[in-house]
Chain A
Amino acid sequence: MAALDQTQVKEGVDQETVDAVREVGTYKYGWDTDIEMEYAPKGVNPDIVKLISEKNEEPEWMTEWRLKAFERWTQMEEPKWAMVHYPEIDFQDQYYYARPKSMETKPKSLDEVDPKLLATYEKLGIPLKEQMILAGVEGAEDGPAEGRKVAVDAVFDSVSVGTTFQAELKKAGVIFCSISEAIKEHPELVKKYLGSVVPVSDNFYATLNSAVFSDGSFVYVPPGVRCPMELSTYFRINAENTGQFERTLIIADKGSYVSYLEGCTAPQRDTAQLHAAVVEIIVEEDAEVKYSTVQNWFPGDENGKGGIYNFVTKRADCRGDRSKVMWTQVETGSAVTWKYPSCILRGDDSQGEFYSIAITNNMQQADTGTKMIHLGKNTKSRIVSKGISAGKAQNTYRGLVSMHPKAKNSRNYTQCDSLLIGDKCGAHTVPYIEVKNNSSRVEHEATTSKVDDDQLFYCRQRGMDEEEAVALVVNGFCKDVLQALPMEFAMEAQQLVAISLEGSVG
């Protein structure tokens, strides 16, 4: 695990986490920003699709592409196979486009952005001023990460508010901008790659996204370039009854490297909100992409009221030989999660990794996992999934490992562990394993257990209260995954692990 050396997670971390438990309250991003918004009419139909396209000042081919997707969507059925239950979603009772009034004419630089918006991100700990480093990582200033920069694309409801460090990235040849900007500025790249990993008609939510996506991030790293800083997108849903449909497209050309972080939060509201994103990653020969997510959408209250329905399609296509992709996710938010970041290992010797912590508490439901499709020779994949279920929550790992006949000498190792806290929750494992050649090896292991009494006793004996003790044990359980996270996220993730489980003991 290469990422291991780059992170600061070592001994002593657990104590910090325990301290974090003391500090933090419940969902701390539940506030909203009082800002004048502009909405498209409720519902979705070809006119809304055209309207979104128009608002983004898109060329005709893009509008056509969206309309085709919409037409396809009307013929599709909502998937019902996941182990999640929620009231029927009325797709016509949502806003599909909402943007702050002040964003009507796109600001030319961050200085022109509405201060209220900037304040929102500041409050979230996301700095949009270029000289700043990510907040919340106090130790970083004097650590080895001195002068560490992270470029941020901030998405607020349906629009991108701004992208930092664009000029500096440009010097390196890296394109990092909102997808709406990319459609205008780099149509040749967008045309070539958009929908090439997640086809328009891939699944119900991806098709809906193709029709109505409003914004998102676009990354292109040219051949041989190691992206000089980490890129990040921060998604914030603010408006009520509004769905967020963002689209992210990352292209790592031959021999390049990029690390991408994604974060998301939403205010506390009584009604559930829809979030259906699509992320496509193209990894060419010898290139490497790291994609890390800390998903912290509003999970609903303890009675299951409100929260985000998170239906996301994420897929990476390792097209070139020796290409590599690594998904790391910490899923603590959302009322309902339906998400399977996948790797298509097409190139020979390509590698896919998936590290996941999914935490559900109260009435949350998560059905998440990955797909590793081995097509090329000598391909390798590794899956480490840790599911933690507390309260009345349901947590499912669902995954597929497929070794095609031509994927000779390939390897897969899967480990999925579940931890149950309390006797009213559920933890489930649904792996699919398909092996079609004999030179490949597939190993799958899964366990389900409860927090060990002996470990708890040990902690309690040393003066910790029960909640602290559980947080400590759980953090140990998640360590494999936490260590795979970039430093910016590792700290936040550890705190999240503690917050999400608060109130689950006793």
Chain B
Amino acid sequence: MALPDVKQSATEARLATLRMPEAGCTRDAREAALARLRAMGLPGRRDEYWKYTRPDTLISPEAPAAEVFHTDEPMVFDGFDRLKIVFVDGVFSPEDSDDLTLEGVSIDRLEDICCKDIHWAKQLYGVLEERGQTPVQRPLAALNTAFAQDGVAIHVTGKPSKPISLIYRHESESSDAILHHVIRVESGAEVTILENGPAASRFNKCIEIDIADGGTLHHVRAQGRDHQRRAATHMFTRLGKESVYKSFTLTVNGVLTRNEQVVELTGDDAVAHVAGACVGDGDFHHDDTVFITHDAVNCESRQVFKKVLRNGATGVFQGKILVKEGAQKTDGYQISQSLLLDDDSQFLAKPELEIYADDVACSHGSTSGAIDETAMFYLRSRGVPAKEATNMLTLAFLAEAVEEIEDEALAEDIVSRLEGWLARHS
């Protein structure tokens, strides 16, 4: 079916500003992704999947300018022993990065996977993204596969001694970055991936994660700092038998963020937890879109999303659990909650279940409201000042999502960021 004219012209206008890297072995995957993108067109305001988030500035030919935010405050995860991989405005920076050798893992730049003939990466690039295009189209991910400028391939074969930390610095006011990482966790291997930094004025990032039987991947991400930045990110994760994927995202500030998580449980007894906490003040639009597919027996999935919004901030949650025929004994749980600190903010949610197997226990809950007056009264009556009481209750509200982080030290670091933010914004 031909695309509507408006969509086609918007797509072509964006494509005109992009250049596909010459790189050899990913070329076929990139061409195929471009063909996919042309067939579906970039998202438009009338698309059901973009009902609550306007894609205009994410698809415009040029990235809207975003001021670079300067602060003396240390970056999140700064105190942790980790292997740093730094990107500045979407380009790998060898000077700022650590030596990429570490026992139990091999890390290469995307552009090197061809000359080094890294088979697994060549075979993974664009594959999970393509699988994630049905039943819902994700055109920005196809655009990413076709035009990614940089990225890394992380092959986890053992249990590396420290987390791999991807740091995205933002230095140019008009940067428009497209990054694509591929990660393969081998059977029995285990890794923690950290991500942080404002990245660019506009950031399109895609990670494809393939976890083999019995593999484990922990992911903790903090998106923060710069106010005017925009981001559209995708994580495509495929889980094998008895594998584990646990992901947590903290989002503070940012005028527009859309985080999509596409998780496919393909092996029996796999576990996937996806969580997020976001705090927004004023011109802040945050969208968590999650799609979890159960395609194996006895798998567990859990989604926990909490949003604190004030001064006209908008929080969006679109979460879906799809249980395919035969995926018996599925345990699916989903909760999305918002705390509206004033009357101007809004919470828009679409928590979905689609179930084709009968022996399952799936549930979802969604709530929205103000701070509980009884709890507030309790604290005030014990002499806690209003501001402090509000912050305490807000932190307590976010705790359920933060608790999804297994590593206590990382969780504490996230909590301290939240405390700092609340102190500055109340």
Contacts and interface: CB of A to CB of B under 8 A. Distances in A.
Interface residues of A, number: 37
Interface stretch (A41-49, A140-148, A350-358, A437-445): A437-445
A433 B353 contact: no
Contacts of A435: 338, 340, 346-348, 368
A55 interface: no
Contacts of B349: 431-434, 444
A452 to B, nearest CB: 11
B345 A444 contact: no
B348 A434 contact: yes
A436 B346 contact: yes
A446 B359 contact: no
Interface in B299-349: 325-326, 328, 338, 340-343, 345-349
B366 interface: yes
B351 interface: yes
Given A428-B353, A430-B352, A435-B368, A445 B363 contact: yes
A323 interface: no
Contacts of B27: none
Contacts of A449: 360-362
A283 to B, nearest CB: 26
A404 to B, nearest CB: 10
A432 B369 contact: no
Given A426-B356, A430-B350, A448 B365 contact: no
A441 B367 contact: yes
A427 B368 contact: no
Interface in A403-458: 403, 405, 408, 418, 420-450
B328 A423 contact: yes
Contact of B355 (A432, A439, A448): A448
A448 B358 CA distance: 9
Given A423-B325, A440-B369, A428 B355 contact: yes
A426 B343 contact: no
A431 B355 contact: no
Contacts of A422: 358
A497 B363 CA distance: 24
B341 A438 contact: yes
B356 A431 contact: no
B364 A429 contact: yes
Nearest to B323: A448
B392 interface: no
B73 interface: no
A369 to B, nearest CB: 12
A81 interface: yes
B363 A446 contact: yes
B342 A444 contact: no
Nearest to B360: A448
B354 interface: yes
A425 B354 CA distance: 11
Of A428, A434, A435, most B-chain CB atoms within 10 Å? A435
A440 B347 CA distance: 11
Contacts of A430: 350, 352
A151 B53 CA distance: 50
B348 to A, nearest CB: 5
B95 interface: no
B369 A420 contact: no
Contacts of B358: 420-423, 425, 450
A399 B46 CA distance: 19
B422 interface: no
Contacts of B346: 434-436
B100 interface: no
B415 interface: no
Contacts, number: 117
Nearest to B346: A436
B39 interface: no
Contacts of B348: 432-435
B325 A447 contact: no
B342 A420 contact: no
Interface in B351-404: 351-370
Interface in B78-127: none
B362 to A, nearest CB: 4
Contacts of A424: 325
B48 interface: yes
Nearest to A421: B358
Contacts of A428: 352-355
Given A418-B355, A448-B353, A433 B362 contact: no
Given A445-B365, A446-B363, A450-B359, A438 B370 contact: yes
Given A418-B355, A425-B358, A449-B361, A431 B367 contact: no
Of B348, B350, B353, B356, most A-chain CB atoms within 10 Å? B353
Contacts of A427: 353, 355
Contact of B347 (A408, A433, A447, A450): A433
A277 to B, nearest CB: 26
A440 B367 CA distance: 10
Contacts of B353: 418, 427-429, 446, 448
Contacts of B367: 441-444
Contact of A442 (B357, B359, B366): B366
B298 to A, nearest CB: 15
A17 B355 CA distance: 29
A442 B325 contact: no
A447 B368 contact: no
Contact of B350 (A425, A431, A448): A431
Contacts of B48: 81
B355 A426 contact: yes
Contacts of A440: 368-369
A447 B359 CA distance: 13
Interface string A275-298: 000000000000000000000000
Nearest to A419: B358
A442 B348 CA distance: 11
B363 A447 contact: yes
B343 A444 contact: no
A429 B325 CA distance: 16
Nearest to A413: B367
Nearest to B359: A450
A440 B342 CA distance: 11
A27 to B, nearest CB: 24
A444 B364 CA distance: 8
B360 A441 contact: no
Contacts of B368: 403, 433, 435, 440-442
Contact of A431 (B347, B351, B359): B351
Contacts of A444: 349, 351, 364-367
Contacts of A434: 346-349
Nearest to B356: A426
A422 B355 CA distance: 12
Nearest to B317: A433
A427 B323 CA distance: 10
Contacts of B326: 423
Contact of A447 (B351, B357, B362, B370): B362
B364 A446 contact: yes
A426 B340 contact: no
B177 to A, nearest CB: 32
Contacts of B351: 429, 431, 433, 444, 446
9 tightest A-B contacts by CB?
A438-B340, A420-B358, A441-B369, A435-B368, A429-B353, A433-B349, A444-B366, A447-B363, A438-B370
Given A426-B356, A435-B368, 12 more contacts: A83-B354, A418-B355, A423-B326, A428-B353, A431-B352, A432-B348, A438-B343, A438-B345, A438-B369, A440-B369, A444-B367, A447-B363
12 contacts: A421-B358, A427-B353, A429-B353, A429-B354, A430-B350, A434-B346, A438-B341, A438-B342, A443-B367, A445-B363, A446-B364, A447-B361
